[in-house]
Amino acid sequence: MAMKLSELRNMSKKELWEHYDKESEHVQPSLNYYRDEIVRREQNKQTVVLIWLTLFMFLTTVFSAIGTFI
């Protein structure tokens, strides 16, 4: 039986991982399970690249502004 949403939201991340690991022993994974993990990993890589590009653009803008004022 599933938990109420309020109970689920009050759980710590560690508790959620423990429940997930416990329940995963009794579940047969589908193709979506693997596809979702692939997509999650690709999104994480894209997020890291986007953060670095944003930082680069910020620093370029700062140095350009400093160069303009000097």
pTM of the model: 0.62
Distance CA 46, CA 53 (A): 10
User: What domain count does the chain have?
Assistant: 1
Domain contains 24? no
Residue range 13-45, pLDDT digits in tens:
999 999 999 988 888 889 998 999 999 999 999
Domain assignment of residue 11, yes or no? no
Cα distances from 50 to residues 15, 36, 57, in angstroms, run 31, 21, 10
Residue 65 lies in a domain: yes
**Quick one: pLDDT at residue 55?**
98
Any domain includes 7: no
The reply to whether 5 falls in a domain is no
